[in-house]
Amino acid sequence: MSWRLQLVSNELVKRRRILLVTALCCLVSVASMIVAKVLLMGIALFTNLFYFQKFSIEYSSPADNHLGIWAIFIPAIGGVIVGIMAKFGSPGIRGHGIPEAMENILQKESRIPRRMTFLKPISSAIAIGSGGPFGAEGPIIATGGALGSWLGQIVPVSSYERKVILAAGAASGMTAIFGTPFSAVLLAIELLLFEYRAKSFIPVALATVVASTLRATVMGGEAFFTMPPIHSPDLISLFIYLAFGALVGVLAVGVTKSVYWIEDMFEKLPIHWMWWPVIGGLVVGLVGLIEPRALGVGYDNITMSLAGKLSVGAAVSIFVWKFLAWSVALGSGTSGGTLAPLLTLGSAFGFLVGTGLAFYFPELHTDVSTMALIGMAALFAGSSRALLASVLFALEGTQQPVGMVPLLGCCSIAYLVSSVLMKNTIMTEKIARRGVSVPHEYYSNPG
């Protein structure tokens, strides 16, 4: 009888621990929301300082600068600063953050150095503010994860519980930027937790609810990407969308392999990696002189593609030059993310294919905005293999529920093509090269 009482007592203790972990996750969520707001203000501040020589946190785009040829050197100056921060602060600020978070979970019991909680957002704000072709979401996901890890090291919790708190911080950071709580939870499951359990899912979900509520209060609750309403596809157009998914899957493989090929080229340079971001910055500066819209976060480029308001020439230019600037900058080891560039490339590619089909084959009833939407999500799905997160992100980010069927079909096919042609993903290739075994599936456990 005593052993039964002991089992009941142990079960009660476990259930009470969930309450503690959930409370810690919600606390991290509040902190992530604050950091996200500070990061966005920091990006605006450094953009104004670098390109307009004024002290302001009002949003401005590097594309509107009037520096002329001198603008070439702005990203290189940002690269110098980030390189110094990485050399004398922490090498962990290099890259887009999610692979490093995965490595800390898989090999270091979810322990991220505490200095990352301020070095990563500062370095990212400098890199993006000086024209780096990245979005804010990658750095804030990494910073939110670092906040969760930090709290999990202060409060006595197990390594498993620390992983959950880290994932909650990362998911809350993504929610704070985009207002997409459901997709943020799925991203945490598919890229950080590698499991579906009530004791991990519930704390992360509640943390994103807190972040989403705070975001709606501070930033408003409208869709992050605005676009005209789309319509349910007919049989022919749905078939076109699914075939397009296969094409995007091939593109995802090409994009991923190109990024790591460029990184390999930097590895062969006979200079210290601290100076690589300077070289990458000079390339970004040259690209910015040709196509200023390739600089900075570029969320407006995504919105223009989704709304069908780009010209074909503009879409081609954004696709080509954004890819070149982003791949070189990321390969150089500066601090920045992958999500916004992938969304930009995917939406522009979808816009181009959709525009071509609508012009030459109007009988197919291809909707340009729908093609841009599924291109945006499918490129992320094929590159990261975060399938469900990609689908839900597009739905939440645009508030277009009619897109569910073409999004799910297109992203699934892009995932399949990518998995057949490429072993690792844009998130896992880096740490796989270091010998880290990365799970490719998550499992369900009701415990």
Q: Is the separation of the CB atoms in 284 and 120 below 8 Å?
A: no
For residue 352, tell me if it sits in a domain: yes
pTM above 0.95, yes or no: no
Hey, which residues does 95 pair with through a beta bridge?
Answer: 335
152 plus 295 within the same structural domain: no
What is the SS3 assignment for 108? coil
Looking at the fold, whether 206 and 273 belong to one and the same domain comes out as no
Tell me which amino acid residue 119 is. Answer: L
Mean pLDDT of the chain: 87
Q: Which tens digits make up the pLDDT trace of 24-48?
A: 999 999 998 888 888 889 999 999 9
At 71-127, the pLDDT tens digits run: 999 999 999 999 998 888 878 778 777 777 777 777 777 787 778 778 888 888 898
**pLDDT: which is higher, 394 or 365:** 394
DSSP per position, 218-279? HH-SS-SS--PPP----HHHHHHHHHHHHHHHHHHHHHHHHHHHHHHHHHTSSS-GGGHHHH
Q: HSE (CB half, 13 Å, CA atoms) of 45? A: 12
Answer yes or no: do 133 and 282 share one domain. Answer: no
Inform me whether the pLDDT recorded for 4 exceeds 60: no
Q: Using one digit for the tens of pLDDT, what is the confidence trace for 351-382?
A: 999 999 999 998 888 899 999 999 999 999 99
What average pLDDT does this structure show over 422-439?
A: 80
Q: Do 246 and 192 share a domain, yes or no?
A: no
The CATH number linked to 306 is 1.10.3080.10
- Burial (CB < 10 A; 0-12, 13-18, 19+), residue 63, is middle
Has residue 438 been placed in a domain?
Answer: no
Instruction: Tell me whether residue 203 is in a domain.
Output: yes
**Nearest-angstrom CA–CA distance, 172 and 138:** 12
Three-state DSSP state, 443:
strand
CA distance 27 to 15: 19
**pLDDT above 60: residue 444:** no
Both 178 and 310 in one domain: the answer is: no
Q: Which residue has the higher pLDDT, 53 or 11?
A: 53
Give the whole-angstrom CA distance, residue 72 versus residue 75. Answer: 7
One domain, residues 210 and 239: no
Q: 27 and 75, same structural domain?
A: yes
CA distance 248 to 257: 14
- Which range is least confidently modeled, 9-13, 78-82, 160-164, 185-189? 9-13
In a domain, 412, yes or no: yes
Which of 167, 184, 219 terminates a domain? The answer is 219
Provide the percentage of residues in the chain whose pLDDT is more than 90. 44
| Res 357: pLDDT | 94
% of the chain surpassing 70 pLDDT: 94
240 and 378 in a common domain: yes
pLDDT at 1 over 60: no
The number of folded domains in the chain is 2
Exposure string for 195-224, b = 16+ CB within 10 A, e = fewer: bebebbbbbbbbbbbbbbebbeeebeeebb
- How many residues in the chain? 447
Residue range of the domain that includes 371 = 235-433
Residue 215 and residue 319 share a domain: no
Indicate if 68 and 183 belong to the same structural domain: yes
Q: Would you say residue 227 lies in a domain?
A: no
Q: Is the pLDDT of residue 145 over 90?
A: no
Residues 154-169 have a mean pLDDT of 88
pLDDT of residue 325: 94
257 and 394 inside one domain: yes
